[in-house]
Structure 1
Amino acid sequence: MDENAGSTGEEQMSGLYMNHIYKSFGTINVLNGVSLHVQPGEVHALLGMNGAGKSTLMKILAGDLSPDQGTITIDGKEQQFSSPADAKKAGIGLVVQEVDTALFPALTVYENIAADEIAKTKQKPLLSWKQQKERAAELLRRVGLSISPAKLIRECSLHEKQLIVLAKVLSSSARYIILDEPTAALSETETKRLFTIINELKAQGVSFIYISHKLKEIKEICDRVTILRDGNVVHHGDVASLSLEEMIRYMVGRSYTTAQRETRTYGDDRLFEVKQLHIAKTNTTVDLYVHKGEIVGIAGLVGAGKTELAESLIASSKTTGEWWIDGKRYAFASPKEAIAAGICLIPEERRKQGLFLQEPVRTNLTVRLLSSLTKWLWVRQKKETSVAKQLVDSLQIHPPFLSTSVRQLSGGNQQKVVIGKWLKTDARIFIFDEPTKGIDINAKQEVFSIIRSLADEGKAILYLTSEFQELLDIADTIYIMVDGKLIKRVPAHDITYEQLIYYCSGGEMDGTASRFGRQEKASAISS
C-alpha cells in the first residue's frame, strides 16, 4: 500500500500532482503534508469523514485558498493559483454540490454556459449569440443533455442543472474536474445517466476527482482512491482492491470505538405513526412509528431524503398516507392541520424557515402563542414579555435580552429560539432535521439536553441527521435511510458507528455486522 499519493523523486509528467500540501487556520492544522496524484482519464475518489480536510484540499486546487506549503503540478508544469480564474486557466473545473449557486436562474442555458466568457470579453462587447447557442448545444450534447439552449435555468430540473454546470466547466477546456457529492440529490436513474457521461468523458481524457459519502458508488465509478483522516493521507490505491468495510476503517481509524450508554426507558404505546406515507419528491413510501418518550433517529447520508421525509411528515409538501397520533387516524393536507394535531418541525435551514431574522427574540419565541397572548387583536405585551423571559431563562439563551434581533444571536442560540417557540404549545411530536448544523459543541450539548427533557416529558422525538455519532449518543432507536427509503429499524445500542456508515452507504444488511468485530450484534441487524 502506498500511503503517499505524491511521487518520490521520479519525474512528474502527465497528470495532476498536489505535493505535500500544508494548510493551517490559526493554531488548527487542517492539512499535514497531503499529496494527491490524479492520472489523465481516470476517476479518482477523495474520501474522508467530515473535517478530514477534503474541502480545504479542493479549495486549494480550485484557487479559493493558497497552501502554506506544497506545490501543484499539472502535466509537468508547476502552477500557482492566486484565484479561481487561475485554476480554470490551468484546466481545473469544479461542479459544486449546490448547483443552483453556480447558475443564474433568470438567464437561459446558453447565457449561463457563456457567462464566464462574457465577463472576460471587455474588448468585444458585441458577441455572436448564434455562435454561443451553437456552442452551448454542442456542449449539452457532449454531456448527454437534449434540451434547448434557450431554456431558462429556473425551468430546468436539478439533474439538468447539474449537467449544465458540467457543460459550463467543459466550456473552459477543463481537464481535471472536481465533483462534490454529485449524486446527492439525484434519483437512481439520473445517477446511472451521470455515470455514463462520466465514463464517456473519461474516455476522452478528462479526469475527475470524485467526492462522495456513498461508498457503493465509489466502487462503481472510481478507479483509484485517496483517503484522508485528520488532515493526513492514510491510504492511496486502487478502488478495486478495497472493500467497503476497509474504506470505512481507513476513514474512521481502526482504534475507533463507540461508547455504549445506558438504555433509556420509554412507554409501550405508539404516540406517533405513519403508514404508507408517500413522499412525492423522492417517489418513495415509508412507514415509521415512535413510542411515547422515545427518541428515534433517522440516519442517512447527505441526499438520502431526510429533509423530504421531514417536510412530508408535517405535510408541507405534497404527500399522501395515514398519520396516527395516540391511536387516532389523521389525513393532513397542510402544515396548519398537522400543527393543530400536535406535530412540529425544527427545520434544517433555521434562518430561512425557522426564524423571523429581523424580529426580536421575544417575537420569535411567542409567535406560536399569539392566540393566547392577544385580546381584541392587540398583543398583551406584559404577558408576552413574561412568557418570553421564562423561555429565555429555561433555555439559557445568550445574550438574555428579549429585544435583541434574533439575527444577532449565534447559531446555537438561534436554534434554541427555533425549538423554544414550540415548548409552550400543544406540540407532542417534535421533528428535528439536522438540529446541530452549524453550531458549536457546547450548543450541541444544550440542544441534546432540551431533546432529552422533551422525551422525559413523554413527547415523541424524531431526529434526522447525517451526523451518525450524534444518533448513537442520543437516540433510543435508529432507522436507516437509503435513497428515500427506510430500510431497517434497530435499537441504537445494537449498532456501531462503522455499521451505520456501511449501511447508509448502501452496504447490504445481511449479517455483515460481524466484519466490524462485533459478532454478537449480527443478530440485531439481520432480517
Structure 2
Amino acid sequence: MSGLRMKQMVHSFGDITVLNGVNFHVQSGEVHALLGMNGAGKSTLMNILAGVLQPTGGTIEIDGQLYTFSSPKDAKRAGIGHVVQEVDAALFPALSVYENVLAEQIVEQPNMLFSKTNKRAFVLQLLERVGLAHVSLDTPVQTCSLHEKQLILLARVLSSSARYIILDEPTASLSEEETKRLFAMIEQLKVQGVSFIYISHKLHEVKRICDRMTILRDGTVVYEGDVSLPTEQIVRHMVGRQPETRNTFAREKSEETIFEVKQLYIPKTKTTVDLAVRRGEIVGIAGLVGAGKTELAESMIAHVKTTGERLLHEKKQTWNSPKDAIEAGVCLIPEERRKQGLFMNETIEKNLTVRLLSNIAAWQWIQKRKERALATRLISSLRIRPSSPNALVKHLSGGNQQKVVIGKWLQTNSDVLIFDEPTKGIDAHAKEEVFSIIRTLAEKGKAIIYLTSECQELLHIADTIYVMVDGQLIKQIDAQEATYEQLVYDMTGGGTN
C-alpha cells in the first residue's frame, strides 16, 4: 500500500498529553497541509516522523512497511526528509554549496567510492532538481540568499532519496517571486513521486499549492480532506471555541500621540507602514511568523537604513542608528533575548544596570554601592528569581530573563517601548508577570508597541490592534471589538484574497 500513514499516534510530556490518537495519511506524490494553531501538536507529530521523538503509542507505515524510528538517521533511511524553518541552523555557513549538499552522504557513507568528478556531477544533478543550476558549487553558503539556502537544504534532503519531505513554514521569509519559484519546484518534484508535508499558517498559500489537508486542534484531528474548504471554515476548525479574554484594565485614554511613523519603508519586505501610538496606549501588532513584525520593529528604531518619517512628541526624528533612537527615548525589547537582549555570561546586576552607567559612575569609575542598590531595587520590583544580583543571567528561567531585559530600560528616559514577541518561550505565570509590567508602564504614560503572533495575548492586553500580513498593516481594530477567530482569519491572509 503506497503512502505514509501514522496511526493512533499518542505522545505525552509528563502528565500532559500532546497527541491523542492522531491518524495522519499522506499519499504518494501529493502536497499535504498540516494545519493548526500553536500548541495543536504539529511539531510533536513531525518530530516523531523525523525520528527526533519516540511516540508513547501508535505506528508508522511507509509504502506498506512498518517502521520504528529511534533516531533521525532511521527516519532518513526510510525516506523522510525535513527542511526546517531555521535553515541557517541546519547549514554550515563557511562551507561551500557542494560540501553542504553532500554533508549527509559524508556522514552516512564516509568511505564513498565515487570519484570527485562523479560527486560533483551528483550535486549538480540535485541542484538542477531544485532549480539552483545557476549557483556555483564552490560558493560559500553564507553568501547565498535565504531562498537559495532553503533550496540547498532541500537538495541535501533529496541526496538521501527522501520521498516524504516536511516543509516547515517554507515561505515565512520569502518574497512573492521566491515563493512562486519554490512552488514551481514542488510541482516538478511531485511529478517525480515526491510527497510533501506542508506546515504553514498562510492559508491562501495552502490553497494554492496543497492537494489535501489535516487540521489538528489540542492534539486531535478535527478535519481531514480537500483544501477547497472555505477559509472561514478552516479557521473555525483550527481555533475551535476560544475564551474571549478581554483587556479589562481601564486606563485614561490620552489623545496625545507620542510616537508615529509615516510611510516608513521596510527594506526586507519592500513595504511601507503608517503607525501611531498615544500616551498610555498599548498598540498590538498581530502577525504570523514571517509577516514582517521584527523587520518593522527594527526599522522603527533605525536598526536598518530606511526612508519615511519618524515623529516623537510630534517632532521629526533623523536617527541613523539604534543609539540615536535610544537617546531620544525609544527602545526595543527584542524577540531573541538571549542573542540580542542580554549578556548571557554576566550577572543580573550587570545586565540591569548596563543602560545606566552614567548614573552610577563617577570619574569613569562605577560606584559599586549605587550599582548594587539600583539592581536590588529592580530585582525586587520585578520579582526576579533568584533574587541575588550576582546570579548569572544564563542560569535564569526564560521568564526571569525576559524580566531582566525589560528591567534594564525601566530607569531610562524611554517614553516608547517596543516589545517583539515578549512572551516567547516563557510559562503562563511568567506571561502574567510580563503583562503586569507592561500595564504598569502604560499606566505611567509610556507608549507601548506589542508585536506578537499570539492573538489571545492581544485581546488580553492591547487597546488597539493592527493586523500585519506580508509586511503590510492591512487592518486597524479597536481591541474591544476584535474576536479571536477574526484575528486568526485576517492574519492567515483570509482578508487579502
Match of 2:139 in 1: 151
Residue 496 to residue 509, structure 1, CA distance change in 2 (3 Å): farther
Q: Which residue of 2 aligns with 1:131?
A: 118
The question of whether the paired residues in 2 share the 8 Å contact of 1:93 and 1:170 is answered with yes
Rounded to whole Å, the distance in 1 between the matches of 2:401 and 2:5 is: 43
Alignment pair present for 1:258 and 2:247:
no
Distance 1:414 1:257 in 2: 29
Report the Cα distance in structure 2 between the residues aligned to 1:330 and 1:480, rounded to whole angstroms.
26
SS of structure 2 residue aligned to 1:348: coil
What does the per-residue CA deviation read over 1:255-284, in whole Å, with 9 as the maximum and x for residues that have no partner? 334234446432001110011211112211
Which amino acid letter does the alignment assign opposite residue 264 of structure 2?
L
Q: Deviations over 1:356-396 (max 9, x none)?
A: 11111111111111011111110011111111111111111
User: How many Å separate the matches in 2 of 1:492 and 1:35?
Assistant: 37
Aligned position for 2:26: 38
Deviations 1:430-481 (A, max 9, x none): 0000000011111100100110111111111000000110011000001110
1:391 and 2:378 matched? yes
| Match in the other structure for 1:322 | 309
Which runs of no fewer than 5 residues in structure 1 stay unpaired? 1-12, 511-527
Once the 2 structures are TM-superposed, how far is the Cα of residue 18 of structure 1 from its aligned partner? 0.6
In the TM superposition, what is the alpha-carbon distance from 1:495 to its structure 2 partner? 1.3
Q: Which residue of 2 aligns with 1:282?
A: 269
Residue 121 of structure 1 deviates from its aligned partner by 2.9
SS across alignment from 1:319: coil
Q: Which residue in the other structure is 1:464 paired with?
A: 451
Q: Which residue of 1 aligns with 2:363?
A: 376
Does the 8 Å CA contact 2:419/2:451 hold for their aligned counterparts?
Answer: yes
**What is aligned with 1:209?**
197
Q: Identify the residue that residue 92 of structure 2 maps to in structure 1.
A: 104
State the alpha-carbon separation in 2 of the partners of residues 333 and 222 from structure 1. 44
CA distance in structure 2 between the partners assigned to 1:482 and 1:384 by the alignment: 44
Report if aligned partners of 1:177, 1:209 keep a CA contact under 8 Å in 2. yes
- TM-score computed with the length of structure 2 as normaliser: 0.98
The aligned residue for residue 20 of structure 1 is 8
1:475 equivalent to 2:462? Answer yes
Q: What is the letter of the counterpart of residue 193 of structure 1?
A: R
- 2:176 maps to 188
What does the per-residue CA deviation read over 1:182-214, in whole Å, with 9 as the maximum and x for residues that have no partner?
Answer: 001111111111111111111111110100111
- Length-normalised TM-score, structure 1: 0.92
Aligned to 2:37: 49
Tell me which of 500, 504, 516 is aligned to 2:487: 500
State the AA in 2 paired with 1:108: S
Counterpart CA distance in 2 for 1:65 and 1:259 is 34
Offset of residue 509 of structure 1: 6.3
CA distance in 2, matches of 1:229, 1:293: 36
> What is residue 82 of structure 2 aligned with on the other side?
94
Q: What letter is aligned with 1:89?
A: R
Amino acid at match of 2:481: D
Identity level (%): 64
Corresponding letter in the other structure for 2:290: G
1:122 Cα shift? Answer: 3.7
User: SS state of the match for residue 320, structure 1?
Assistant: coil
Kindly state the Cα deviation for residue 134 of structure 1 after the two structures are TM-superposed: 1.5
Aligned-residue RMSD, C-alpha = 1.3
Verify: 1:442 aligned to 2:451, yes or no: no
Task: Quote the residue 2:104 is aligned against.
Answer: 116
2:214 maps to which of 217, 226, 230: 226
Match of 1:426 in 2: 413
CA contact (8 A) 1:137 1:148 kept: no
Distance 1:159 1:261 in 2: 40
Whether the aligned pair in 2 keeps the contact of 1:264 and 1:476 (CA below 8 Å) is: no
| Deviation by residue 1:140-163 (Cα, 9 ceiling, x = unmatched) | 111112211111100100000001
1:259 and 1:50 map into 2 onto residues whose CA distance is 17
In the superposition, relative to structure 1, how do residues 449 and 135 fare at CA in structure 2: closer, same or farther (>3 Å)? Answer: same
Q: 1:35 corresponds to which letter in structure 2? A: N
Q: 1:347 to 1:459 in 2, by over 3 A?
A: same
Query: What residue is the counterpart of 1:239 in the other structure?
Result: 227
Q: Quick check: 1:108–1:150 contact (8 Å CA) kept in 2?
A: yes
Amino acid paired to 1:189? E
Deviation at 1:131, TM superposition (A): 1.9
**C-alpha separation between the residues in 2 aligned to 1:277 and 1:111?**
41
SS in 2 for 1:318: coil
Structure 2 unaligned runs (5+)? Answer: none
Q: Secondary structure of 2:180's partner? A: helix
Give the stretch that moved more between structures: 297-306 or 483-492: 483-492
Confirm or deny that 1:272 pairs with 2:259: yes
Aligned match for 1:343, one of 319, 322, 330 = 330
Aligned 8 A contact 1:321 1:331 in 2: no
Q: How many Å apart are 1:56 and its aligned residue?
A: 0.8
Q: Which residue of 2 aligns with 1:85?
A: 73
Relative distance call for 1:164 and 1:123 in structure 2 (3 A) is closer
Q: Report the secondary structure of 2:413's partner residue.
A: coil
Supply the AA of the counterpart residue of 2:197: I
Equivalent position SS for 2:325: helix
- Which is worse superposed, 311-320 or 328-337? 311-320
State how far apart, in whole Å, the 2-side matches of 1:474 and 1:256 are. 16
**Letter of the aligned partner of 1:502 in structure 2?**
Y
Aligned match of 1:3? none
1:90-109 CA-to-partner distances (Å, cap 9, x unmatched) read 11111000011111111111
Name the aligned partner's letter for residue 209 of structure 1: I
1:297 corresponds to which residue?
284
Letter in 2 for 1:28: I
**Per the alignment, in what secondary structure is the counterpart of residue 493 of structure 1?**
coil
- Give the alignment partner of residue 300 of structure 2, picking from 305, 313, 324: 313
SS at 2:480 equivalent: helix
What amino acid is aligned across from residue 412 of structure 2 in structure 1?
A: T
> 2 CA distance for matches of 1:60 and 1:325?
50
Instruction: Mark the CA change 1:509 to 1:122 in structure 2 (over 3 Å): closer, same or farther.
Output: closer
